[in-house]
Amino acid sequence: MTDAATVMQHCDVLAACTDEPGSITRPFASDAMRRAHQYVREWMREAGMAVTRDNVGNLRARYEGTGTATLLLGSHLDSVRNAGRYDGPLGVMVAIAVVKRLRDAGRRLPFGLEVLAFADEEGLRFGSTYLGSRAVAGRLDGAELRRTDAGGVTMAEAIRAFGGDPEKLADDRWRGDRPLGYVEVHIEQGPVLEARGLPVGVVPAIAGQSRFEIAFTGEAGHAGTVPMDRRRDALTAAAEVVLAVEAAGATQEALVATVGRLEVEPGAANVIPGKVFFTLDVRHPDDRVRTPACEALIARTRETARRRKLAVEVRATSERPSVRCSPRLTALLKQAVAGRAPEVPSGAGHDGVYMSEITDVAMLFVRCKGGISHNPAESVTTADVGVALDVLGRFLELLARQ
Amino acid sequence: MTDAATVMQHCDVLAACTDEPGSITRPFASDAMRRAHQYVREWMREAGMAVTRDNVGNLRARYEGTGTATLLLGSHLDSVRNAGRYDGPLGVMVAIAVVKRLRDAGRRLPFGLEVLAFADEEGLRFGSTYLGSRAVAGRLDGAELRRTDAGGVTMAEAIRAFGGDPEKLADDRWRGDRPLGYVEVHIEQGPVLEARGLPVGVVPAIAGQSRFEIAFTGEAGHAGTVPMDRRRDALTAAAEVVLAVEAAGATQEALVATVGRLEVEPGAANVIPGKVFFTLDVRHPDDRVRTPACEALIARTRETARRRKLAVEVRATSERPSVRCSPRLTALLKQAVAGRAPEVPSGAGHDGVYMSEITDVAMLFVRCKGGISHNPAESVTTADVGVALDVLGRFLELLARQ
């Protein structure tokens, strides 16, 4: 079996580690995760690595080099509800496979390799993302431990039940010298590579993101009796903004702007909508593009409310600046690609967001079918995984020569 | 106390007849309706009328004239959930008050007056409207009797529990000669009279109405990773249609077009909407305006789907032609108004829709505050009710002279 075929098989095995039989749902510190760990530990050992587990529940496996420096590789093992099998696990499996190749060849690099299999990136169980990489970056606030899951279990209890000590999360912080970098392989989760007919791409940056919750309040009324010119319809106002958001997204390369949630009150066929609540999500790899785009959309929202005589509430619910990947590591990754290596900014967040606080970050995207992710239909080819494996292997050799 | 003040007081008394203490909810054949009937029967008797109840549960009260012909007056006693106190009851109370004036004056008209207090117009309990007037028009299909309410009670059982015989609904049909007409006083449920500063208006027609359910299906996707030019967003398509519906409504006098319900799937802030379901409600007093307006909007909907590469389903869920009020009776009502009597088409349906199948129909609208109805904030003034009473009284005298 080729190394790529083994990676695919391992992703299938992990897909069977689920809390919801029939679909893939592997939350933080779950029974499904416990079963996944049994497999992953074994695969790490077969690749010649020493395996430990930290308090938050990350698996950490080390393959020593001839020197003391460390390059970090990895991705996450948790999933969203009813997930695909590659978002997360693929990056961990490719990292293990690359180490195994070195081991099988009896090769040591001038630096150690540490594979991080993060305990949580998606935030399914506690609604708080990046728990694994935040612990490694020393950014997991103790206040988070009081969060509860849908069953009322606190995060502290969940960590303890999974075998960690919630009072010692600070120990999970990276303790050695600054690592040489953190490199992650991940499915693209978008259609760009597929559209260009290329197996892999390098990530110049992880997009910054702004989220808003917006509510228009007009006046509900009888759909048959209130003349059009006397209406204060919250939905027609929201429709204007939805189209403005779409148009704004089209004005700049790599800008994406989305209204994903929209709720109408009272929501009856014969009643003019009195209130509409909706979300706005804006992302771009350059904050100098995102910030003015958001300002323009919020101004447009307020102008719409004024013109239509509606009340408007705008709440900025989150803002995350963009994370620029390391130009040096990204250039090496490009060099390692035999052929064209397009730059594909990541619109989704990744563990690199927090890892960038303690080291340089680089990411390699693998083409995924239809750009679909967070869905059972998530699909990659064995051939493309083979390319990613080879690229990561060559990258390590290039880095070793520097 | 003036007659108008008595009408207001009676509406307050009926407001206390509710199945939901603290709000006004008086469904068909309910305990609340039973209590309301006790009061209304008594007020009808005080006005000199002989009261009967038919099988569906309409109260019918007759004040004999010197001849055998009959003029029908009335409205409905049931309400929507959390209703106001005037939509329906006001028309019944004004009719009773006008008869009482005749009785108190010892006056008989050349025709008898029959006040109909309909058992159901809103359709709250069984989701089927106009039960009362349909029974009188002989249009209450036996199949309706198998409908069930939220508690699983069939309409047949509800009618029997309320004291009627569901197998004898055919007996409720109007049996005498064709009546001289059916005249109803009702709150406007819209803002036209308030805007013009006038207490009452006459209704030239009850608008026809078309209802559609429309669904766009595009492709859900990650809000961060799918570029704008590769999206098939069902919500942006729906937003286009929502604005087209609003614009269409503004093109023609008295045309109203509304998207009142709109639901987004999957409805998460970070997911491009894959599916949107929405309703379309179009009304106009002239079917020759409504029908082409609907056709144009549905064509626009299909064009939007084609251009945006979405699937679209359009389902026509109901169509009700407009009902023209009797020009002769409406002219008499106008004559009875001392002052300006604007024509205000009714965008809402009324019992006249079915009564028009057995007789000529006329309606008098009373100004309501803010155009608000189906809401506890429903409000009319005693002065305006006094005007409506006087107009209806003069109308009877004018008709008597013809």
Cα–Cα distance, B321 to B290 (Å, whole number): 9
Residue B72's pLDDT is 98
Cβ distance of B229 and A209 shorter than 8 Å: no
- With CA atoms as reference, report the closest residue to B241 among B187, B301, B292, B195: B301
User: Please, is A165 exposed, middle or buried when counting C-beta atoms within 10 Å of its C-beta (0-12, 13-18, 19+)?
Assistant: middle
- Other C-beta atoms closer than 10 Å to the C-beta of A196 total 12
At B38-66, the pLDDT tens digits run 999 999 999 999 999 999 999 999 999 99
The Cα–Cα gap between A112 and A73 comes to: 11
Residue linked to tokens 């003349």: A227
Interchain proximity B273–A250, CB inside 8 Å = no
In this structure, the number of other CB atoms found within 10 A of the CB of residue A332 comes to 22
CB contact (8 A) between residue B223 and residue A281 = yes
Report the chain A residue with the minimal C-alpha distance to residue B260: A269
pLDDT at A338: 83
Q: Which pLDDT score, from 0 to 100, does residue A142 have?
A: 87
Find the CB nearest A223 among B195, B228, B258: B258
Structure tokens at A50: 């020493």
Between strands B50-53 and A262-265, the pairing is unpaired
Judge contact between A217 and A348, C-beta under 8 A. Answer: no
pLDDT in tens, B331-344: 999 999 988 999 99
Cβ–Cβ under 8 Å, residues B393 and B101? yes
Cβ neighbours of residue A374 closer than 8 Å, sequence gap 6 or more: A80, A83, A84, A87, A189, B222, B271
- What is the per-residue pLDDT across A29-88, written as a single tens digit (0 to 9) for each? 999 999 999 999 999 999 999 999 999 999 999 999 999 999 999 999 999 988 999 999
Q: Are B281 and A258 inside 8 Å of each other by CB? A: no
| CB contact (8 A) between residue B260 and residue A250 | no
CB-CB contact of B375 with A222 (8 Å): no
Of B192, B222, B239, the CB nearest to A239: B239
List pLDDT tens digits, range A270-325: 889 999 999 999 999 999 999 999 999 999 999 999 999 999 999 998 899 999 99
Identity of the residue in B189, B211, B236 whose CB atom sits nearest the CB atom of A242 = B236
A366-375: pLDDT as tens digits: 999 999 898 8
Mean pLDDT estimate for chain B: 96
Q: What's residue A134's pLDDT?
A: 97
Total length of chain B: 402
pLDDT tens for each residue of B162-205: 999 999 999 999 998 999 999 999 999 999 999 999 999 999 99
Residue B213, helix vs strand vs coil: strand
Residue B128's pLDDT is what?
86
| B268 interaction partners in chain A (CB closer than 8 Å) | 260-261
Determine, for residues A260 and B272 on separate chains, whether the beta-carbon distance falls below 8 Å. yes
| CA atoms of B391 and B198, how far apart (whole Å) | 13
> Would you state the structure tokens that stand for residue B30, as one six-digit string?
């309910």
Token couple for A265: 């009150």
Chain A positions in Cβ-Cβ contact with residue B304 (cut-off 8 Å) = none
Compare all CA atoms of chain B with the CA of A274 and give the residue at the minimum distance: B260
**Prior bond to A204 cis, omega within 30?**
no
* Of B190, B229, B273, Cβ closest to residue A226: B190
Residue A396's Cβ-count burial label (10 Å; 0-12, 13-18, 19+) is buried
Say whether A371 and B230 touch across the interface (CB within 8 A): yes
The pLDDT of residue B111 is above 90:
yes
Q: Which residues of A touch B225 (CB under 8 A)?
A: 188-190, 256, 346-348, 371, 373
pLDDT tens digits, one per residue of A91-113: 999 999 999 999 999 999 999 99
Sign of CA dihedral B201, B207, B211, B216: negative
Sign of the CA dihedral B394, B395, B396, B400? positive
- Note whether B256 contacts A188, CB cutoff 8 Å: no
Tokens of B58: 């309409």
Q: Mean pLDDT across the stretch B143-149?
A: 93
Domains recognised in chain B with CATH numbers: 3-206+323-401 (3.40.630.10), 208-320 (3.30.70.360)
- Residue A286, classified by CB atoms within 10 Å of its CB into exposed (0-12), middle (13-18) or buried (19+), is middle
Copy the structure tokens of residue B69. 């012909």
Give pLDDT, residue A389.
98
* Cα(A11)–Cα(B346) distance, integer angstroms: 64
Chain B residues lying within 8 Å of A252, measured CB to CB: none
The 10s digit of each residue's pLDDT in A178-207 is 999 999 999 999 999 999 999 999 999 999
Query: Would you call B228 and A235 a contact, using CB atoms and an 8 Å cutoff?
Result: no
Helix (H) or strand (E) holding A11, with range, is helix A3-15
pLDDT in tens, B355-393: 999 999 999 999 999 998 988 999 999 999 999 999 999
Residues 6+ apart with CB under 8 A from B293: B248, B251, B252, B255, B257, B282, B284
Whether residue B346 and residue A225 make contact (CB cut-off 8 A), yes or no, is: yes
Does pLDDT of A221 surpass 90?
no
CA distance A68 to chain B (A): 37
Residue B270: per-residue pLDDT:
86
3-state secondary structure of A329: helix
CB contact under 8 A, B250 and A229: yes
Tokens 């990350």 label which residue?
A58
Dihedral pair phi/psi, residue A327, rounded to 5°? -60, -35
Ramachandran area for residue B117 (φ above 0: left; ψ -120 to 50: alpha; else beta): beta
Q: What is the pLDDT of residues B260-308, one digit of tens each?
A: 999 999 888 888 999 999 999 999 999 999 999 999 999 999 999 999 9
Backbone angles phi, psi at B173, to 5 degrees: -60, 145
pLDDT at B97 over 90: yes
Nearest residue on chain B to A344, alpha-carbon basis: B225
A-chain residues near B269 (CB < 8 A): 211, 260-261, 279, 281
Cα angle B113, B114, B116 (rounded to 5 degrees) comes to 145
Q: What is the model's pLDDT at position B369?
A: 95
The complex scores an ipTM of: 0.85
Q: Give the nearest partner residue to A222 out of B230, B273, B348, using CB atoms.
A: B348
Q: Which chain A positions have a beta carbon within 8 Å of B281's beta carbon?
A: 223-224, 269-270
Q: How far apart are CA B99 and CA A281, in angstroms?
A: 64
Rg (CA), chain B: 23
For residue B261, which residues of chain A lie inside 8 Å, CB to CB?
Answer: 264, 267-269
Quick one: pLDDT at residue B127?
84
* Contact call for A256 and B346, based on CB within 8 A: no
